[in-house]
């Protein structure tokens, strides 16, 4: 009997081994086909993009690679390069200190702003990263006074009196504010003012002359350090002010609401430059006749007012985004307004507003370059003023502007990446 095996020429026994997929549908080739060359239009776009990248890199790379770092002037650079393309980065190495600290800051004291920046990172760390021990916040609270003393020097009594004012205010608030918030609040402001007034009178005349740290006039700080100090000071001052303005705008007291609305809309309606004009030419008319408030402080006041209006609007958005039930829950627990805000509303509203606040902070930090318009020598002011006007470096545009752009990019991009990390970190809703 013939088995099928004998009568049929071929019978498959078992399955064939699987073949690899075609080469053009796996690995890098597949990726290229899908992402770069999927349609003719896409191919065209890809080729155009490669051309753009090639053009930009082809110009920039040789220029950076051939860069000179150690010459003394632009003409020396040109001599060495002999007409070849190449950057003259020596301006950065030679004017490094001017770019960072301005041209008047005493050279022997550069370690002070450096130390202040390092301490700033330490002080900012517990605010930025919640996992760090909360005790570090004590240092953050002390930091403004330490930084003031480090950068501007002079008698240590001035920052100490400033600190004592806050300590006094805190003590008064603890005793008076226990049963009545408003009373404690007003008492705290009064206490701080009294301490500052008495303390200011007690600091002897000329205490700064032989201080441990040589006094540096505020006008002498310049360069990137000025941008950094303006940015940090104004953002941290405008946060509490912005919260107060946002709460004021939500208030049901017509007068307080009116004041806040007019202030916020006015400030948001005018460009920062006009406010800086106010600081430089107009504000001194509004101070008592024989007082001299220096330009740095006037600029800090105006930029703080400016950014507080924007922060107030961001926080108002956060307050409005909270469900009404949260407000009603706080009321039904019997919490008074300050407690309801402090314990229930603000923690949630501020969390929602974090991305907006960071946006305002980044924008503000970029806007600190505008002070160069009212002839303060920040990074841009230093580049356009003393450095480009000097005979050695007249004409070194790209190296200097590129350096400034890079510096701002690194800081601003870093901050925005941090804010995105924080958003993910704080996302407590389940998705």
Partner 1 sequence: MTTLTDPPKASFRLSMLIYDTRYRSLTFQAIAAIMLALCIWFLGNNLIQNLRAAGLNISYGFLGDPAGYDINQRLVEYDSQSSHAKAALVGILNTLLVAVLACITATVFGVIAGVLRLSNNWLVSKLMAVYVEIFRNIPVLIWIIIIFTIMTAVMPAPRDFRGDDATAGMVLDLFAFTNRGVYIPMPYFQNGIFANAAMNWILVLAGFVLSLVITRQITSRANAKQEATGVRPRTLLPILAAWFVPFAVLMLVMGLTFEVPALKGFNFKGGIKVGGPLIALWFALSIYTGAFIAENVRAGIQAINKGQTEAAAALGLRSGRIMNLVVLPQALRVIIPPLISQFLNITKNSSLAIAVGYADITATLGGITLNQTGRAIECVLLLMLFYLTASLLISMAMNFYNASVKLKER
| Least distance to partner 1, CB of residue 409, Å | 5
Quote the tokens at residue 208: 């700064």
State which of positions 51-80 bind partner 1 (CB under 8 A): 52-53
- With contacts defined by CB under 8 A, name the span among 199-207, 283-291, 301-309, 321-329 that binds partner 1: 283-291
**Which one among 266, 297, 321, 420 touches partner 1, defined by CB under 8 A?**
266
- With contacts defined by CB under 8 A, name the span among 5-13, 166-174, 216-224, 287-295 that binds partner 1: 287-295
Residue from 260, 271, 258 nearest 302 by CA:
271
Nearer to partner 1, 347 or 395 (CB): 395
Residue from 412, 300, 318 nearest 358 by CA:
412
**Which one among 287, 294, 343, 425 touches partner 1, defined by CB under 8 A?**
287
Q: At how many degrees (to 10) do helices 346-367 and 295-321 cross?
A: 140
| Least distance to partner 1, CB of residue 412, Å | 4
Calculate the dihedral angle through the C-alpha atoms of 233, 236, 238, 241, rounding to the nearest 10 degrees.
-130
How far lies 180's CA from each of 144, 322, 336, 423, in Å? 29, 27, 10, 36
Q: Is 323 in the site for partner 1 (CB under 8 A)?
A: no
* Total of chain residues touching partner 1, rule CB under 8 A: 57
Q: Is 33 in the site for partner 1 (CB under 8 A)?
A: no
| Least distance to partner 1, CB of residue 319, Å | 19
Question: By CB neighbour count within 10 A (0-12 exposed, 13-18 middle, 19+ buried), where does 391 fall?
Answer: exposed
What is the rounded distance in angstroms from the CA atom of residue 186 to the CA atom of residue 274?
A: 33
Contact indicator for 189, 169 with CB cutoff of 8 Å: yes
**Which one among 51, 69, 129, 409 touches partner 1, defined by CB under 8 A?**
409
For 35-53, the DSSP string reads: HTSSSHHHHHHHHHHHHHH
What is the rounded distance in angstroms from the CA atom of residue 154 to the CA atom of residue 106?
A: 14
Q: Is 128 in the site for partner 1 (CB under 8 A)?
A: no
Q: How far apart are the two ends of the chain, measured CA to CA in Å?
A: 69
Calculate the dihedral angle through the C-alpha atoms of 389, 391, 393, 397, rounding to the nearest 10 degrees.
40
**Which one among 30, 46, 214, 355 touches partner 1, defined by CB under 8 A?**
46
| Least distance to partner 1, CB of residue 176, Å | 12
| Least distance to partner 1, CB of residue 366, Å | 4
- Looking at beta carbons, which pairs linking 280-283 to residues 24 or more positions away fall under 8 Å? 280/374, 280/375
- With contacts defined by CB under 8 A, name the span among 8-16, 201-209, 282-290, 300-308 that binds partner 1: 282-290
Contact indicator for 280, 374 with CB cutoff of 8 Å: yes
Q: Which residue has the tokens 């330009």?
A: 295
Nearer to partner 1, 84 or 209 (CB): 84
Which stretches does DSSP call E strand in 209-279?
none
| Least distance to partner 1, CB of residue 136, Å | 29
Nearer to partner 1, 96 or 413 (CB): 413
**Which one among 156, 241, 256, 293 touches partner 1, defined by CB under 8 A?**
256
**Which one among 55, 57, 132, 182 touches partner 1, defined by CB under 8 A?**
182
State which of positions 347-406 bind partner 1 (CB under 8 A): 362, 366-367, 369-370, 372-373, 380, 384, 395, 397-398, 401, 404-405
Provide the binding-site residues for partner 1, judged by CB under 8 A: 35-36, 38, 42, 45-46, 49-50, 52-53, 180, 182-183, 252-256, 259, 266, 268-274, 277-278, 281-282, 284-289, 362, 366-367, 369-370, 372-373, 380, 384, 395, 397-398, 401, 404-405, 408-409, 412-413, 416
């Amino acid at each position: 009997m013939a088995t099928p095996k004998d009568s049929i020429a071929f019978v498959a026994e078992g399955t064939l081994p699987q073949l690899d997929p075609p080469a053009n549908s796996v690995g890098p080739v597949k990726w290229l086909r899908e992402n770069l060359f999927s349609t003719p239009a896409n191919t065209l776009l890809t080729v155009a993009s490669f051309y753009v990248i090639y053009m930009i890199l082809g110009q920039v790379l040789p220029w950076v690679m051939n860069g000179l770092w150690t010459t003394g002037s632009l003409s020396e650079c040109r001599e060495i390069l002999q007409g070849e393309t190449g950057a003259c980065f020596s301006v950065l190495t030679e004017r490094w200190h001017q770019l960072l600290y301005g041209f008047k800051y005493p050279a022997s004291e550069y370690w002070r702003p450096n130390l202040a920046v390092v301490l700033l990172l330490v002080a900012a760390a517990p605010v930025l990263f919640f996992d760090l021990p909360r005790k570090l916040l004590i240092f953050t609270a002390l930091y403004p006074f330490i930084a003031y003393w480090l950068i501007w020097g002079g008698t240590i009594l001035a920052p100490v009196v400033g600190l004592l004012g806050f300590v006094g205010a805190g003590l008064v608030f603890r005793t008076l504010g226990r049963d009545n918030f408003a009373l404690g609040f007003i008492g705290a402001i009064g206490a701080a003012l009294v301490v500052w007034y008495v303390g200011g009178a007690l600091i002897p005349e000329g205490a700064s002359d032989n201080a441990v740290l040589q006094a540096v006039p505020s006008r002498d700080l310049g360069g990137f350090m000025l941008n950094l100090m303006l940015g940090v000071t104004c953002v941290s001052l405008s946060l509490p002010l912005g919260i107060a303005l946002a709460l004021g705008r939500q208030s049901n007291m017509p007068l307080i609401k009116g004041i806040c609305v007019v202030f916020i809309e006015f400030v948001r309606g005018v460009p920062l430059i006009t406010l800086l004009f106010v600081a430089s030419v107009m504000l001194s008319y509004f101070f008592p006749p024989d007082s001299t408030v220096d330009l740095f402080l006037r600029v800090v006041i105006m930029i703080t007012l400016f950014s507080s209006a924007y922060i107030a609007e961001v926080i108002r958005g956060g307050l409005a985004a909270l469900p009404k039930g949260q407000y009603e829950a706080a009321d039904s627990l019997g919490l008074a307004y300050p407690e309801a805000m402090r314990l229930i509303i603000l923690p949630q509203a501020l969390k929602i507003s974090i991305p907006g606040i960071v946006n305002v902070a980044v924008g503000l930090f970029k806007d600190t370059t505008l002070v160069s318009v009212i002839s303060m020598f920040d990074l841009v002011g230093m580049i356009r003023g003393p450095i480009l006007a000097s005979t050695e470096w007249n004409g070194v545009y790209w190296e200097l502007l590129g350096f400034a752009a890079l510096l701002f990019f690194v800081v601003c991009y870093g901050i925005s990446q941090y804010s995105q990390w924080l958003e993910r970190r704080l996302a407590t809703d389940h998705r």
